Amino acid sequence: MKKYLRWVNSTLQMCKGQRLEKFRVCFDLNKFAQHEIDKWLEFAFSRKVQNLELDLNKGGEDTRDFDYCYAFPARLLGLVDPADSSSCTPHSNNLQIHSLVKQNFKSLKMLLLKSVNVTGEVLEFFLHNCPFLETVVVHGSGTLVNLEVVGPSLKLRHLEIWYCYYVESLKICDTNLITLRTTSGEGLLLKNVPMLVEVEILGTYTHILNDISSRLSCVISQLEVLTVHASLSLFDFSQEDLDRYNFPELTKLKKFVLTTFRPVCSWKEQSLLGCTSIIRAAPQLEEFELQLEARPFTSNRECKKAIKCPLHHLKVVKLWGFYNGTFHLELVRYFLENAVALEKIIIDPTCPLLTRVPLDLEEIKHQQTARNLAKLQLQCEVPPTMELVIL
């Protein structure tokens, strides 16, 4: 880390340009580099940076211990720094910085902060003082509690609040936001967001159907892409219960992605057919992807069947995660029987949890076994006019 800090400091001394299109830091840095990173931000803002990225994750991990995260300096914006208990109001020097910063921030278009502790007050300052700011991404902040994205004057189009576990309220109202990605679904409030067409959300530990219906109720009919991450979700209810559930119609949905994780022991008597209740509610669906995060397991039960329902527009199905014969075969058969326009089925036995780590010999063996089983079962099920891809 010390070597990296020295290298960046020496590099910045050689930069003579008056404007920066992009300033990106991507390295394992924590609160012990606070002073140096503060200086880098001052450098970037003084040159009217357009795209600012601080990606300080540790070794490719999703986030780090919040107590060790670098803290975005509120004083740089002329705001009271929560870490400075002696500051009750902005002093004169801060007011001068505030005036200078507001001028230099006019060019900011994108802000990305990963493993950076940032407050809602700081983010709202950016939103209301950067007239060209279109993208805000915050991953792994331990100090983000409340955030309001409110007002038709905001230019913001893409918002991502991920792994910020202390968020209590995320209010998004009267804006032209287009895409939203958040793990803070429990505190989400959406109102009057007519342009919002793409949402990725972490489901709560209640039933996923109720979860989506309540939290996304005002946009459910306008969504075109929906991605849901759920740990309990559809598979805690019987197929009969799901078939009776009156799920709101997703009239414009074109792509649906479901990621779900369960312990190995709880999968054996379950069925993937639960997800068909949402698929049936999306008459315009063109692409469906299921990411199954589970370890290899075996099940010898007979294949079940779901309610028949013509899927007139579905063209691509991707099943991602360890392939288990019965478990996946019944779902593939459902699509073969109902998706009249189906063109491609993709089977990827890679577990989503393991995509960023080196595979050991056992895992490689499991994946090859899954490929062989998928090939053996599906080549005789899928007609030759349809493309079958086994990765």
Task: Specify whether 134 is located in the same domain as 204.
Answer: no
Question: Is the pLDDT confidence value at 372 over 80?
Answer: yes
Mean pLDDT over the full length of the chain: 83
Task: Specify whether 240 is located in the same domain as 353.
Answer: yes
Predicted confidence at residue 321, as pLDDT, reads: 80
Task: Specify whether 87 is located in the same domain as 145.
Answer: yes
Number of domains in the chain: 2
In a domain, 189, yes or no: no
- CA separation for the pair 38, 266 (Å, rounded): 48
Task: Specify whether 106 is located in the same domain as 232.
Answer: no
Exposure class string for 96-111: b at 16+ Cβ within 10 A, else e: ebbeebeeebebbbbb
* Residue 105 · residue 129 · CB < 8 Å: yes
The boundaries of the domain holding residue 126 are 18-165
In a domain, 250, yes or no: yes
What's the token pair of residue 66?
Answer: 């919040």
CATH of the domain at 363: 3.80.10
In a domain, 148, yes or no: yes
3-state secondary structure of 181: strand
Task: Specify whether 202 is located in the same domain as 329.
Answer: yes
Predicted confidence at residue 210, as pLDDT, reads: 63
Question: Is the pLDDT confidence value at 186 over 90?
Answer: no
Question: Is the pLDDT confidence value at 207 over 60?
Answer: no
Task: Specify whether 153 is located in the same domain as 300.
Answer: no
Nearest in space to 171 (alpha carbons), one of 203, 204, 123: 123
Task: Specify whether 229 is located in the same domain as 141.
Answer: no
In a domain, 306, yes or no: yes
Q: Which of the residue ranges 68-77, 88-97, 123-132, 220-229 would you say has the lowest mean pLDDT?
A: 88-97
Q: 272 versus 382: which is more confidently predicted?
A: 382
Q: Which of the residue ranges 43-52, 175-184, 314-323 would you say has the lowest mean pLDDT?
A: 314-323
Task: Specify whether 368 is located in the same domain as 272.
Answer: yes
In a domain, 78, yes or no: yes
Q: 142 versus 269: which is more confidently predicted?
A: 142
Which residue matches tokens 């949905």?
Answer: 253
In a domain, 152, yes or no: yes
Domain boundary, last residue among 165, 189, 209: 165
Task: Specify whether 121 is located in the same domain as 239.
Answer: no
Which residue matches tokens 């939290």?
Answer: 215
- CA separation for the pair 119, 100 (Å, rounded): 21
Task: Specify whether 310 is located in the same domain as 219.
Answer: yes
Predicted confidence at residue 362, as pLDDT, reads: 77
In a domain, 344, yes or no: yes
Predicted confidence at residue 118, as pLDDT, reads: 97
Domain boundary, last residue among 108, 141, 165: 165
In a domain, 322, yes or no: yes
Please write the tens of the pLDDT for every residue from 95-137.
444 555 566 788 999 999 999 999 999 999 999 999 999 999 9
Q: Which of the residue ranges 120-124, 272-276, 367-371, 375-379 would you say has the lowest mean pLDDT?
A: 272-276
Question: Is the pLDDT confidence value at 225 over 70?
Answer: yes
DSSP-derived secondary structure letter, 301: P
Predicted confidence at residue 143, as pLDDT, reads: 96
Q: 306 versus 161: which is more confidently predicted?
A: 161
- CA separation for the pair 127, 113 (Å, rounded): 14
Task: Specify whether 60 is located in the same domain as 102.
Answer: yes
Which residue matches tokens 């900011």?
Answer: 108
Please write the tens of the pLDDT for every residue from 286-324.
999 988 876 655 566 677 777 788 899 999 999 888 777
Task: Specify whether 32 is located in the same domain as 148.
Answer: yes
Give the rounded percent of residues in the chain with a pLDDT score beyond 70: 80
Domain boundary, last residue among 143, 165, 187: 165
